[in-house]
Amino acid sequence: MTIQNAIADLSSLLGDRLQCSKAELEAHATSEAHFPTTPPDAVAYPLTTAEVSQILQICARHACPVVPWGTGTSLEGHALAIKGGISLDMGRMNKLLEVHAEDMDCVVQPGLTREELNQALRTTGLFFPVDPGANASLGGMAATRASGTTAVRYGTLRENVMALEVVLADGRIIRTGSRARKSSAGYDLTSLFVGSEGTLGVITELTLRLHGQPEAISSAVCAFNSIEDAVNTVITTIQMGIPMARIEFLDRASVRAVNLYSAAGLPEQPHLLVEFHGSPAGVAEQAERFGEIVADMGGSGFKWSSKTEERNALWDMRHKAYYACLALRKGSTALVTDVCVPISRLAEAVRETRADIDASPLPGPILGHVGDGNFHAILLVDPQKPDELAQARLLAGRMAERALRLGGTVTGEHGVGMGKLDYMRSEHGLAWDVMAAIKNTLDGGGILNPGKVVENEGDNRTVATK
Amino acid sequence: MTIQNAIADLSSLLGDRLQCSKAELEAHATSEAHFPTTPPDAVAYPLTTAEVSQILQICARHACPVVPWGTGTSLEGHALAIKGGISLDMGRMNKLLEVHAEDMDCVVQPGLTREELNQALRTTGLFFPVDPGANASLGGMAATRASGTTAVRYGTLRENVMALEVVLADGRIIRTGSRARKSSAGYDLTSLFVGSEGTLGVITELTLRLHGQPEAISSAVCAFNSIEDAVNTVITTIQMGIPMARIEFLDRASVRAVNLYSAAGLPEQPHLLVEFHGSPAGVAEQAERFGEIVADMGGSGFKWSSKTEERNALWDMRHKAYYACLALRKGSTALVTDVCVPISRLAEAVRETRADIDASPLPGPILGHVGDGNFHAILLVDPQKPDELAQARLLAGRMAERALRLGGTVTGEHGVGMGKLDYMRSEHGLAWDVMAAIKNTLDGGGILNPGKVVENEGDNRTVATK
C-alpha cells in the first residue's frame, strides 16, 4: 500500500503515458500563485474515461493520492499534490464531442480549454461566455466553479454546466444531469461536483450551456471621484434592469498599474469598465442609459463605443491587469486573494481593505467584478522575504473575515484549495462537517485531492507512504 | 421506539400545536393529484427553528417519520406521510424577515407563499419571479425545485435560492450559502437541499434572489398549423436571443378546454402564449421581432399587447388550464405528469405522446413551458375506475421512457415524490446510488420523508411501528 506500488501498476496500464521525469514533475509542481513548488510522484495522462476509472481503482487499492490537473492556472494551490501521489493530467482528453446548435449546448472532454471551445464554435453563432481570464480547461473551470468578468450576465460554471460524467474514487463511472434545460428528478449532483475541486470525483465529460453570440457589443469606461460613487453607479444600473455583460472596477492603484503597463492613459481615479450585449438598438440604449447614471453620480470621461478595436484594447488591458500589477514591483510574486460581499456592502469592504493594505508596507492594487460584489487584492511580495508573505497572509485573512462580517463569502471565484481552508469553519460552521461527511461517503479512503476543501491542519487521514 | 411515544413527547413540547384531530389529519392527507388519502399520525406546527430542531431530535430518538408540509400543492405525492408519523406543517413560520433592496434579495421563512411575498414587495420595485401556478409556500417550492411559466427567463428555484437554513435529521441547524451573489467556498450545499423534497433536512429559512419589476410587459398569442411549427418558432426565437419572459404551448385539446372553460375563443390549433419584459422600447422591439418569426413559420392570429387587462386575461386563462382540462370530463380526477427534453426533440416528444394518448381511451390535453422543453399531460381518469388510473400510469411511464430516450429527464419540475420513483434508476443509473449514499449519510435513521426520492418498493429501512 505505497505510492510506489501504485506507480508500478499505473506504469503497466499506461506505458509512457505515466511519466516520472524531472521536467514532467516540475511542470505539475507549480501554480500561478505564491505556493511553494510541490512536485507529484508521477504524472498520468489518461485518454479515456475507462482509463480514468482504472487509474482510480489502482490508486484506491494502494491509497495513492490522485490530484486532477487541467492547465494549472488556479490561484489557491488546488492542483498541487501536497500529499504526493499522482497528478492526473486531463490535457489529452480535450475533444469537443458534440455541438447541439438548436439546443444551445455542447458536450466536451475536460481538457478542452475555453478558448479552444470558442474557436471551434465561431461559425455556429454560439459561444461559451464564462471568462476567468486564463485560458483554463473546462474541466478545471467546472471543478473550481470558475466565473470572471461575464458572470454578472451569464452566470458562473454553476449556471452553465448542465450535466457531468464523473469517475468516483472507487472507479465507478456516473452521469449527473441531462441535456434537458431543467429537472427536478432528485438531488442536484451536478452542482455538488461543480466546485468540489477534484475532492469528490474526477470530471471526465461536461455538457455545457451555450449562448448566442451577441449581435452587437458596446463598451465604455468612466472615472469616479470615490469608490462609493462607482459602486452606487453599479447598484443603480442593476436596479434599473440594464443588463450589463461585464462591469469591472479598478481602484487608483490598479489604474496606475495599467497606465504604466498598457499605456492606458486613464486619470488616476477609481474606474468602471463596462460592456453591453444585445441588438444594435439595445446596446445603444443601454449605453446611453448607463451614461446618464454615471453623470448623476458625478462620473467623468464617459464614452461608449461599439468599435471592435477599442473594445479589444479595453479588455486586453483588463486581462493584463494582473501582470500590470506584478510589474509595479520588479521581481515580485503575488498573493492574489478574492472575496465576495452583498453589493450594498461592497464600497465599505473595498474601502476598509484599501486602508488596511495602505497601512502595510506592501503594494496591493484592488480590482474586481463589481456587479457580483466580487473583488481581488493583488498583494505584491518579495519572494526572498518570507515575512512579506506572512504579512500578505494576514491582510488576506482580514479580508476574508471582513467579507464574512459583511454577509459575504471568503472566496467568490478563486476557490478554497489550500489558501482558504483556514476560513471554512468560520464561513460554514456546522455545514463544513456536512461537507466532510459527504467527502467521506464518496471518498472514504481520502485519495482524491487530499488536503483540500474539507481537510485542515489537524487532518488525520492516512495516505500512503512513499 | 414508536410513533406514539414520539407523539407523547411532541405533545409535551408543543401543546396544542401538536394536533391529532380527524380534521387536521385529513387536511394533511391529500394533494392536488390522484394519490389516495394518506393521513399522518399527527400534525406539528412549529414556530421557530429551535423548535424544529427539538422536534427532529424527538423524532430521531423514536424513529418517527417527519414529512414537511407547505401548502400541499405538489403533484407527485411529496408531502404524504406514506409511512405514518408527523406532518410538519411550516405554515406558521411565514414571516418575511428581511428585504435588501440594494442587493435585490430577501430572507423569508418557509411558510410564506410566493403571492404573499410579491404582495409585500409591491412597493419596492422588486419581485420574486418564479411562478409554478399554485400559490405555493416558498419552502415547498425550494424543496421541490419548483419552476413554471417564467423559468425560461428567470430560472427555477435552483437559480433563485442563494442561501438556506436547514435542520438536519439529528437536530443540527446548519446554514448554507450567503447573501453574496456567488461563491466558490466549498461544496454547493444550497443546491443539494434545493430539490431534495424534505428527505435530507427541513428548510427553516431561505434567502431568495429578487428581480426588478419590469418597466414594461407585452404579451402575445398565436396559432400554428402543427406542433413542429410552434416548436421551431420557439427555437428560432431563443437562438436570436430574444429574451422571452414566458413562452407557453397549448395543444389542440388544451385549446378546446380553455375555450370551453374561459371562453377564450381561440381557433382549435396548437398555440403559443408569450410574454416579454423590458423597457417600453425593448418589449415593442421584441414583440415585433417575434411576430416576424411567427409569420415565417406560417403562424396566424399574431397580435401583441401591452395592456394590463388583456395580459391578465391571457395568464388567468393559462393558470386555469388545469381546471379547464378537468372540466372536459365531469367528475374526473387527473394524473398530471411532466417531462423535459432538449428542445430539438420537443416536437417529436409531444407528437409521440399525443399519438400515444389518442390511442388510449383517456382524454389527455398536453401543454407546457416550451422554452425549457418541459411539457405536461393531464390524463383524465374516472376515480371510480381503477383500470383507468392504471392505464394513465402506463401512459405516464411511456412518457418518462420517451423523455429519457430523447436525452431528457423524467420530470422537469413536478419532482419525484412517489410518482416518479420507478424511473429514477433508469434516469440516473449508478448516480442514484450516490443519492442514496448521501441520504444515508445525512439521515441514517431514514426519518425524513421516507419512501421518497431515493427509496423504492424494495426499501428495507426500519421505521417505527405504531
Q: What is the DSSP string of B139-165?
A: HHHHHTT---TTHHHH--HHHHEEEEE
Closest by CA to A375, choosing from A404, A392, A353, is A353
At B340, list the grid cell: 423535459
Instruction: Identify the pLDDT of residue A201.
Output: 98
Contacts of B403 in chain A (CB under 8 A): 180
> What is the arithmetic mean of pLDDT over B46-64?
98
- Give the distance from residue B330's alpha carbon to the nearest chain A alpha carbon, in angstroms: 31
- Test A183 with B344 for CB contact under 8 angstroms: no
* Helix (H) / strand (E) containing B177: strand B173-177
Residues near B123 by beta carbon (within 8 Å), at least 6 away in sequence: none
How many angstroms separate the CA of residue B212 from the nearest CA in chain A? 6
Q: Which three cell numbers stand for residue B27?
A: 387536511
What's the pLDDT tens digit per position in B397-439? 999 999 999 999 999 999 999 999 999 999 999 999 999 999 9
Q: Is the pLDDT of residue A85 over 90?
A: yes
The beta-carbon neighbor of A183 closest among B214, B278, B340 is B340
Q: Does the pLDDT at position B60 exceed 50?
A: yes
Other CB atoms closer than 10 Å to residue A291's CB: what's the count?
A: 16
Q: Which residues of A touch B147 (CB under 8 A)?
A: 182, 184
Q: Could you say which of B182, B343, B414 has the minimum Cβ distance to residue A372?
A: B182
Query: Is the pLDDT confidence value at A458 over 60?
Result: no
Instruction: List the domains of chain A with CATH numbers.
Output: 3-91 (3.30.43.10), 93-212 (3.30.465.10), 216-319 (3.30.70.2190), 323-424 (3.30.70.2740)
CB–CB contact B180 A342 (8 Å): yes
Residues of A in contact with B428 (CB under 8 A): 174-176, 185-186
Q: How far apart are the first and last CA of chain A?
A: 9
What are the tens digits of pLDDT across the range A253-262?
Answer: 999 999 999 8
Cα B425 off chain centre by: 21
In this structure, the number of other CB atoms found within 10 A of the CB of residue A234 comes to 25
Residues of B in contact with A278 (CB under 8 A): 241
Please list, in sequence order, all residues whose beta carbon lies within 8 angstroms of the beta carbon of residue A260, skipping any fewer than 6 positions away: A324, A327, A328
SS3 of residue A144 by DSSP: coil
Q: Dump strand ranges (E) for A318-452.
A: 333-340, 366-369, 374-381
**Shortest Cα distance from A214 to chain B (angstroms)?**
8
Mean pLDDT of A332-358: 96
Do residues A123 and A111 make contact, with C-beta atoms less than 8 angstroms apart?
no
Gap between the Cα atoms of B194 and A424, Å rounded: 22
The DSSP-derived string for B36-101 is PP---SEEE---SHHHHHHHHHHHHHTT--EEEESSS--SSSTT--TT-SEEEEGGG---EEEEET
Tell me the mean pLDDT in the region A222-250: 92
SS3 A76: coil
What's the pLDDT at A1? 61
Percent of chain B at pLDDT above 70?
A: 97
Question: For A194, what's the count of Cα atoms within 13 Å in the CB-facing half-sphere?
Answer: 30
Residue from B103, B182, B341 to probe the interface with A (highest A Cβ count within 10 Å): B182
Do B196 and A187 make contact, defined as CB atoms within 8 angstroms?
Answer: yes
Residues of A in contact with B440 (CB under 8 A): 441
Grid coordinates in use for B352?
Answer: 409521440
Q: Closest by alpha carbon to B34, among B300, B456, B379, B429? A: B379
User: Above 80 in pLDDT, residue A69?
Assistant: yes
Write the pLDDT tens digit of every residue in B361-384: 999 999 999 999 999 999 999 999
Other CB atoms within 10 Å distance of the CB of residue B10: 21
Contact A158 B182 (CB under 8 A): yes
Cβ pair A373:B434 closer than 8 A: no
Q: Is residue A382 over pLDDT 50?
A: yes
Q: Measure the CA–CA gap between B366 and B328, rounded to whole angstroms.
A: 13
Element (H, E) at B305: strand B300-305
- Residues of A in Cβ contact (< 8 Å) with B192: 187-188, 191-192
| Cα distance between residue B247 and residue B372, in whole Å | 9
Q: Are A163 and A106 in contact (CB under 8 A)?
A: no
Cβ atoms of A88 and A66 closer than 8 Å: yes
User: What average pLDDT does this structure show over A260-278?
Assistant: 93
Among B145, B412, B434, select the one facing A189 at the smallest CB separation.
B434
Provide the 8-state DSSP code for A409: B
Please list the residues that pair with A223 across neighbouring strands.
A271, A300
Q: Answer positive or negative: Cα dihedral of A56, A62, A67, A70.
A: negative
> Rounded distance, CA B33 to CA B335, Å?
6
pLDDT grade for B303, boundaries at 50, 70 and 90:
confident
Cα-to-chain-centroid distance, residue A151: 11
Give CA–CA dist A381/B304, Å, rounded.
61
Residue B459 binned pLDDT confidence (cut-offs 50, 70, 90) = very low
Phi and psi torsions of B71, nearest 5°: -120, 0
Sign of the Cα torsion A101, A103, A109, A110 reads positive
* Inter-chain touch B235–A432, beta carbons under 8 Å: no
Give how far A410 is from chain B: nearest CA, Å: 7
Task: Please say whether the beta carbons of A148 and A413 come within 8 A.
Answer: yes
The reported pTM is 0.96
Interval A129-181: pLDDT, tens: 999 989 999 999 999 999 999 999 999 999 999 999 999 999 999 999 999 99
Mutate to test the interface with A, among B157, B165, B434 (most CBs of A within 10 A): B434
User: Above 70 in pLDDT, residue A186?
Assistant: yes
Question: How many CB pairs (< 8 A) connect A and B?
Answer: 277
Q: What does residue A261 show for φ and ψ, rounded to 5 degrees?
A: -85, -40
Residues of A in contact with B153 (CB under 8 A): none
Is A353 a residue whose pLDDT tops 90?
Answer: yes
Residues A103-129 pLDDT 10s: 999 999 999 999 999 999 999 999 999
- Using alpha carbons, select from A94, A99, A96, A136 the residue that is nearest to residue A115: A136
ipTM of the complex: 0.96
Predicted confidence band of residue A32 (pLDDT cuts 50, 70, 90): confident
Residue A284: its chain B contacts at CB < 8 A? none
Tell me the β-bridge partners of A96.
Answer: A108
Q: Which cell numbers in the block locate residue B104? A: 435585490
Rg (CA), chain A: 22
Contact B454 A285 (CB under 8 A): no
Higher pLDDT, A466 or B299: B299
DSSP, collapsed to helix, strand or coil, labels residue A333 as strand
Query: Where is pLDDT greater, at A308 or B254?
Result: B254
CB-based contact B430:B397 (threshold 8 Å):
no
Sequence length of chain A is 466
Q: In chain A, pLDDT over 90 holds for what percent of residues?
A: 87
Please answer yes or no on whether A184 and B146 come within 8 Å at the CB atom: yes
> What pLDDT, on a 0 to 100 scale, did the predictor assign at position A461?
43
CB contact under 8 A, B340 and A172: no
Query: What digits encode the pLDDT tens for the residues A276-321?
Result: 998 888 899 899 999 999 999 999 988 888 888 988 889 999 989 9
Name the strands in the sheet holding A18-19, side by side, starting at the edge strand that comes first in the sequence: A18-19, A42-44, A86-89, A66-69
Nearest to A341 among B125, B174, B180 (CB): B180
What average pLDDT does the segment A376-399 reach?
Answer: 96
Sort out which chain A residues have CB atoms less than 8 A from B215's CB and list them.
241
**Residue of chain A whose Cα is closest to the Cα of B372:** A181
Number of H helices, E strands in chain A: 17, 18
User: A290 vs chain B: nearest CA distance in angstroms?
Assistant: 14
Q: Say whether pLDDT at B318 is over 60.
A: yes
Q: What is the pLDDT of residues B84-118, one digit of tens each?
A: 999 999 999 999 999 999 999 999 999 999 999 99
SS3 state at A128 = coil
Structure confidence at residue B461 as a pLDDT band (50, 70, 90): very low
Do residue B412 and residue A454 have CB atoms under 8 angstroms apart? no
* Dist. CA A88–CA A24, nearest whole Å: 12
Look over chain A and give the mean of its residue pLDDT values, rounded to a whole number.
94
